[in-house]
Amino acid sequence: NPYAELVARLRAAWLSGKTRPMEYRVAQLEALGRFLDEKKQEILEATALDMGKPRFEAEFSEIILCKNELHETLNNLSHWMKDEHVYKNTATRLDSAFIRKDPYGVVLIIAPWNYPIHLFLVPLIGAIAAGNCVIVKPSEMTKNSEKLVAEVLPNYLDKDCFAVVTASVQETTRLLENKFDYIFYTGIPSVGRIIMTAAAKHLTPVTLELGGKNPCYVSDTCDVQNVAQRVAWGRFFNAGQTCIAPDYILCSVEMQEKLVVALSKVVNDFYGSNPRESPDFGRIVGDKQFQRLYALLCSGQVAIGGETDEAERYIAPTVLVDVLPSDPVMQEEIFGPILPIVTVANMDEAIDFINSRERPLVVYAFSSNSKVVNQVLERTSSGGFCGNDTLMHVTLTSLPFGGIGSSGLGKYHGKFTFDTFSHHRGCLHRNMGMEVFNALRYPPYTQQKLGMVRAASEVKRKGTCTLL
């Protein structure tokens, strides 16, 4: 196996205990901070070359959000690493009971192409903070970013414990034959299944950050202009290539009309009359993705946009109306700057529509009536939920970010990343004395012993296990 030696080398480094002390982890994390600061220009250039990522978007998503996670981690690491002492019951009153946060060992992070820095860096922060050795496999789709990470990142980190691997699909399959102690994958459900199947061979725990079609319900009671701005921002950011982008709108026929008018104005406000010339609108990452998206444009009717340019991989910010659930654009996660509107009679129909499909990464609901927002929240299931805005729930590091069902398993961001990459080990440190208290649990058993044990347990409605 071409990667066996690398994995063995990292495992040896792991067994040496190098990555455990807090000072070591802090030093590596601070080095990551320096990477973000010193290589900011290179990161912005690479993502611009790879997918025409507008400078503002790149700086916000690939630098600023990463630095927030880094600072949150550095500020709290010593607290997160501490043993968590837990409530003790009668039997263990005099003992020390705590949860120890142990690193797993050698972990693998596989990142996608849409936010090529952010989506390996944020997991990496948590993996290092938790004391692991890490192999990072950036996406081969975004060649400039991949090159940057492979050539530059290792210079900032301890090469004994951290490595970057560039690999094609076939090579990644071979990489996955090795035993890892944790695998963190961001991408699509079909590959998620392959990763989990490979992980099962070694009983490797996984976090899978996948995707789906994120529904966006817009009720009739709302400020249409504000809704249009927030939805357009979420949909067209990164030319729609965002796992948490609002995928499609559900609204009434009347609202559809109003939204189209409002969205048209917003697209103009954001990108001018010819978005192709705006420096703030991105491009599709590759030819295959462009072709796939192009084919979706035949669904419903084009109300806004629809222009494309194959050479530039440009697809205009597009809104489709009168889309049917059976249309091509409603069969797969769009992952492009196309926003279909499907009309429904009312909120109940919208909720039924959402619930008849796979559970998405996020459900959006817009209404000035908080009861409506709460109804949609309570009656649907999704990774996360955002009322009256898009994307923003993932910028709060105190909220867990992850999917459910086919949109993923596991979660991260903030402390959740640290927890993802740690084994929470239940520890009890008992006293060697006080042996007389244990007498009840030893054979030979008498009716008397049993009676005492029962009596002790009957008292405990305030609910903990008792003497054994």
Partner 1 sequence: MEKMQQVVGRARAAFNSGRCRSLEFRLQQLKALERMVQEKEKEILAAIKADLHKCGHNAYSHELLGVLGELALAMDKLPSWAAPQPVKKNLLTMRDEAYICPEPLGVVLIIGAWNYPFVLVMQPLIGAIAAGNAVVVKPSEISENTARLVADLLPQYLDRELYSVVTGGVPETTELLTQRFDHILYTGNSAVGKIVMAAAAKHLTPVTLELGGKSPCYIDKDCDLAVACRRITWGKYMNCGQTCIAPDYILCDPSIQSKVVENIKAALQEFYGEDVKSSPDYERIINKRHFKRIVGLLEGQKIAHGGQTDEASCFIAPTILTDVSPESKVMEEEIFGPVLPILTVKSVDEAIEFINRREKPLALYVFSNNKKLIRQVISETSSGGVTANDVFMHALVPDLPFGGVGNSGMGAYHGKHSFETFSHRRACLIKDLKMEVVNKLRYPPSSQKKVDW
Helices 40-51 and 143-152 cross at an angle (nearest 10°) of 150
Q: Which is nearer to partner 1, 36 or 296 (CB)?
A: 36
**Comparing C-alpha atoms, which of 311, 310, 329 is closest to residue 320?**
329
CB of 197 to partner 1, least distance (A): 4
Q: Which is nearer to partner 1, 229 or 256 (CB)?
A: 229
Q: Which is nearer to partner 1, 166 or 381 (CB)?
A: 381
CB of 209 to partner 1, least distance (A): 12
Distances (CA, A) of 260 to 215, 320, 335, 386: 17, 9, 20, 22
CB of 114 to partner 1, least distance (A): 18
CB of 44 to partner 1, least distance (A): 11
Q: Is the dihedral of CA 339, 345, 347, 353 positive or negative?
A: negative
Could you say which of 66, 216, 243, 386 is catalytic?
Answer: 243
Strands (E), 356-433: 362-366, 384-387, 408-409, 422-429
Q: Which is nearer to partner 1, 271 or 418 (CB)?
A: 271
- Secondary structure (DSSP) of 30-60: HHHHHHHHHTHHHHHHHHHHHH---HHHHII
Size of the chain, expressed as the number of residues it contains: 468
Looking only at the bridges linking them, the beta strands covering 314-315 and 308-309 are antiparallel
**Separation CA 321–CA 254 (nearest Å):** 12
Reduce the DSSP state of residue 431 to 3 states and report it.
Answer: coil
Query: Among this protein's residues, is 298 annotated catalytic?
Result: no
> What is the three-state SS of 290-345?
HHHHHHHCCCCEEEECCCEECCCCEECCEEEECCCCCCHHHCCCCCCCEEEEEECC
Could you say which of 161, 209, 251, 333 is catalytic?
Answer: 209
Query: Among this protein's residues, is 243 annotated catalytic?
Result: yes
CB of 120 to partner 1, least distance (A): 21
Q: Are 266 and 287 in contact (CB under 8 A)?
A: no
CB of 430 to partner 1, least distance (A): 4
Q: Which residues are catalytic?
A: 209, 243
